[in-house]
Amino acid sequence: MGSLGTSRDLEDLRDALILFACFLLSALIIALAVRQ
């Protein structure tokens, strides 16, 4: 049961990282678009 909990935590962390990466990517695209 303990390992299941840690794997769920890892999944939540991965989802948060994916959301953070998407946010950074969109911010980068907006910055490039504004600069042009």
With a cut of 90, say whether residue 16 has pLDDT above it. Answer: yes
Q: How far apart are CA 4 and CA 15, in angstroms?
A: 17
Identify the band that residue 2 occupies on the pLDDT scale cut at 50, 70 and 90. low
With a cut of 70, say whether residue 28 has pLDDT above it. Answer: yes
Distant-in-sequence, close-in-space partners of 23: CB < 8 Å, separation ≥ 6: none
Domain count, the chain: 1
Q: What average pLDDT does the segment 22-31 reach?
A: 98
With a cut of 90, say whether residue 25 has pLDDT above it. Answer: yes
With a cut of 80, say whether residue 32 has pLDDT above it. Answer: yes
With a cut of 70, say whether residue 3 has pLDDT above it. Answer: no
pLDDT of residue 7: 84
Within a 10 A sphere around the Cβ of 26, how many other Cβ atoms?
10
* Domain membership of residue 9 as a residue range: 1-36
